[in-house]
Amino acid sequence: MLFPTTDFAIFFCLVFLGHWWLNHNPRVWKPFMIAASYVFYGWWNWRYVFLLAAVSLITQASAIAVDHQRQPKRRTAALALGVAATIAPLLYFKYYGFFTVNVTNAATTFGLHVAPPLIQVVLPVGVSFYTFMAIAYLVDIYRGDFEIASWVDLFLYLSFFPHLVAGPIVRPNELIPQLVVRRDPRHIDVADAMWLILGGLFKKVVIANYLAGAVVDPVFGDPARHSSPEAIVGIVAYAVQIYCDFSGYTDIAIGVAKLLGFRFPQNFDRPYSARSVQEFWRRWHMTLSRWLRDYLYIPLGGNRKGTARIYRNLMITMLLGGLWHGAAWHFVVWGGLHGAYLTVGHWKDGKREAGQLAEPPETALVHWMQRLATFTLVCIAWTLFRADSVATALALLARTVTAWGLPSPLLTRPVLLAISAGLVTQFLPHRPAERLRAALSRLRPVPLGVTVAVVLFLITTLGPRGVAPFIYFQF
């Protein structure tokens, strides 16, 4: 079920009414919300609900096993088994085909005949997101950072529909405690929630969907047919598209959760205004960045045990982060490229601390040059992320310098306006937006409803027909 659809609007209206009607009775409210979340998830394919239930069952059983162990070695072994069992469905659905194809190809290269059975399976929507949340729950219990939850709370934590299919990745301590607190409808900031939902819809429907059809899909689909300006604009347009698409989903998810009385963590903070790749990752998909840091980078050793280990840990973390996004080599290369960016950045920071490299001047011109350099590096990596193969990505990057002088019919005013709109928002000061947000909060119900209806009409009118799935649904 997609957020910007009539189906979801009807679904949410029913859930909203049931949620607040049953809010005073947790014994009824929690099963109701679990059932609603399973309906939401099963809307694509009813079989998916069995996978979600199985992962929830395995996670809670594993958590109980970890919690009952008192000897450190047994506790660690229980955690390892629990994580392996929890992540097994993800490995099968997402990586089995990738593994078998590459094993077969590698064996053929060496003249061997190895042909593991190739089974075509459909990747369930959102499996990566709720698997990562399940692992966070297990590890937090192992570390003693969180107490084991009840079965019903764990099932609701993993299935809660606003975050279910594309995040944000909500930690146990960020959501489960909210499940045991009675929510007060008088404290719901409806205007703030609508600000997020409408802003997310605008970014997704008007900007992301338009850029996808107008320039991104044609350029990435056949780089050889396009000029250098079109190739460059196509790459930049994808950077804007994926930001508007994913941050738009996150805004809608946070807004929907707010209408139900829940708070989700922020997931984006104007990432294209970053002055380094390190800062970019502190602003882009922040819940994933923190997850990779706390549950992968730090357990690998983090910043301990010498510089060489730090570089190794950065590369392993980003390579696995790339593989998490998709079972294909271009995702792995994308992750490796960002790992290289972060490694070079860490090396430069070390040189500056040792006095071997001068600090750049703190001037506006230098700051804008840093932002431009960072955005360029990120766009180069996005090319690998969006292309269907490493070869296609390299062909498109080569096209940016080898096809000048050719016609560029895709460079229309609406395309350039949409790209500009997506980028300008990264640099606008917070104060005007906060004032507009505050003004919306002061509206009475009738004017607020009229305003929402007008904005929805404009979004529907300006956006292209049809609703494309969110990009991160495939991960």
Q: Is 179 helix (H, G, I), strand (E, B) or coil?
A: helix
Residue 292, amino acid: L
Of 16, 423, 464, residue with least CA distance to 197: 16
Count of Cβ atoms closer than 10 Å to residue 424 Cβ: 9
CA distance 392 to 235: 13
Q: What is the DSSP letter of 472?
A: G
CA distance 133 to 281: 19
Provide Rg for the chain, Cα atoms: 24
Which of 19, 285, 325, 338 is labelled catalytic? 325
- Give the DSSP letter string of 56-83: HHHHHHHHHHHHH--SHHHHHHHHHHHH
325 given a catalytic annotation: yes
User: Any idea which residue has 């292209």 for tokens?
Assistant: 464
Of 393, 390, 377, 369, residue with least CA distance to 234: 393
For 197, phi then psi, to 5°, come to: -65, -45
CA distance 396 to 406: 15
- Give the DSSP letter string of 220-272: HH-GGGS-HHHHHHHHHHHHHHHHHHHHHHHHHHHHHHHHTT-------S-GG
Dihedral-angle region of residue 231 (phi above 0 means left; psi in -120 to 50 means alpha; beta otherwise): alpha
Of 211, 128, 218, 124, residue with least CA distance to 462: 211
CB 52 within 8 A of CB 130: yes
The alpha carbon of residue 413 and the mean position of all alpha carbons in its chain are separated, in whole angstroms, by 30
The alpha carbon of residue 76 and the mean position of all alpha carbons in its chain are separated, in whole angstroms, by 29
CA distance 406 to 17: 57
CA distance 316 to 335: 9
Which residues are catalytically annotated? 325
